[in-house]
Amino acid sequence: MKSFWDERYAAPEYVYGETPNAFFKSQLEKLSPGLLLLPCEGEGRNAVFAAQMGWAVAAFDQSEMGRDKALRLAEHRAVQINYQICDWSEASYPAESFDAIALIFAHLPAAIRAAAQQQLIPYLKPGGMLILEGFNPQQLQYQTGGPKDPTMLFTEAILRQDFAELELLELYETEAELDEGPYHSGRAAVIRLVGRKR
């Protein structure tokens, strides 16, 4: 997968745009800035936005091309982000250190998804928030982004199980009009979750 993402992010333009995901933005604006973790952060649009809002941002991704573009965007916007190159199995952070974690279109193979997502929960402080937006299986009828493997898409049942330790404040499927660069453009079938660590 690393080579796939390096190739995609090698394009000179920001292939998922330079502005934050709308759902992520709307949720982050409800919170007081603190320490935020962004797995699978790609080209940095969400990390840079959060840093502009006053968050201290940690991020990771497999793609060096993605990190390079994220750091350029951060420099252009005069903010700093802590961006590591690693995959989920290598990522490690202190327990109860983050005020929020956001998973924005962070789709993983079914074989590792549950364990990887549950690995994040200990990193949250008590009362910390988890924000997620991804594609649900109805997205397969659209040509507006996301995995073509149905086992990598999210259902409410999957997310309830994966995040059973959290108090789920929001969990719903909806349709959204995406305007996030050439790979996320047009009507899409998404699922959204907001959870709080007990």
pLDDT of amino acid 15: 96
Instruction: Please name the residue that has the structure tokens 């290598």.
Output: 90
The total of other beta-carbon atoms located within 10 Å of residue 16's CB is 25
Instruction: Please name the residue that has the structure tokens 């699922």.
Output: 191
Superfamily of structural domain 2-197: Vaccinia Virus protein VP39 (3.40.50.150)
pLDDT of amino acid 1: 82
Distance, CA of 166 to CA of 123 (rounded, Å): 13
Q: Token pair of 120, please?
A: 């994040």
Q: Token pair of 61, please?
A: 């991704």
pLDDT of amino acid 60: 98
pLDDT of amino acid 69: 98
User: What would you report as the CA-atom Rg of the chain, rounded to the nearest whole angstrom?
Assistant: 15
Report which residue type is found at 35.
L
Q: What is the pLDDT tens value at each position of the chain, 198 positions in all?
A: 889 998 999 998 999 999 999 999 999 999 999 999 999 999 999 999 999 999 999 999 999 999 999 999 999 999 999 999 999 989 999 999 999 999 999 999 999 999 999 999 999 999 999 999 999 999 999 999 999 999 999 999 999 999 999 999 999 999 999 999 999 999 999 999 999 999
Question: How many angstroms separate the first and last alpha carbons of the chain?
Answer: 34
pLDDT of amino acid 20: 98
Write out the DSSP string of 125-169.
EEEEEEEEEEE-GGGGG-SSSS-S-GGGS--HHHHHHHTTTEEEE
pLDDT of amino acid 16: 97
Backbone angles phi, psi at 79, to 5 degrees: -130, 170
Distance, CA of 14 to CA of 77 (rounded, Å): 15
Distance, CA of 102 to CA of 3 (rounded, Å): 24
Domain ranges in the chain are 2-197
pLDDT of amino acid 95: 97
pLDDT of amino acid 2: 86
Distance, CA of 76 to CA of 122 (rounded, Å): 33
Q: With beta carbons less than 8 A apart as the criterion, state whether 166 and 195 touch.
A: yes
Q: With beta carbons less than 8 A apart as the criterion, state whether 130 and 163 touch.
A: yes
Backbone angles phi, psi at 176, to 5 degrees: -135, 155
Q: What is the DSSP letter of 123?
A: G
